[in-house]
Structure 1
Amino acid sequence: MAIAVTLIVVIGQMLVRRQRAREEAERTGQPLEPPRSPEEQARDRQTAVVWGCLVVAVPVVLALLYWFTRA
């Protein structure tokens, strides 16, 4: 229960800080985040591919393990 409450409080604080940063950026006319370099964009794409594969692979492996252990 304490973990859930802590998680809710931390996420709430994060959202409030993000909203304040967005409002400050709008007020000053600056972009919220600086433009990302091509190297950072390439790294982001690679990370997205890795996470995408994990999202697909983990359930497939679990389903296969279940299927093999039930047979």
Structure 2
Amino acid sequence: MRRLFLFLAVLLVMAPVVSGRQHTLSCLGNKGTCRVSCKKNEHPYLYCRNYQPCCVQSYVKINVSAKEEKNRGKH
């Protein structure tokens, strides 16, 4: 019985390693992804909780101030 529990414990620990998948964190309201290094078509923007850069696609526009958004609607 102990061998069965040991086997199951080892199997559960090895499952993420064998599949090669890791949980990816999203940032900026699902507009970006936390990565160790950004891809060629991405730009780093701020940092995630895991101290990795938040990589955002180059075509994503980030509104820094709410004043700009209000002024756009009045024109």
Query: What TM-score do you get using the length of structure 1 for normalisation?
Result: 0.26
Higher strand content, 1 or 2: 2
Pick 1 or 2: higher relative contact order, CA cutoff 8 A, min separation 6: 2
Query: What TM-score do you get using the length of structure 2 for normalisation?
Result: 0.25
Higher helix content, 1 or 2: 1
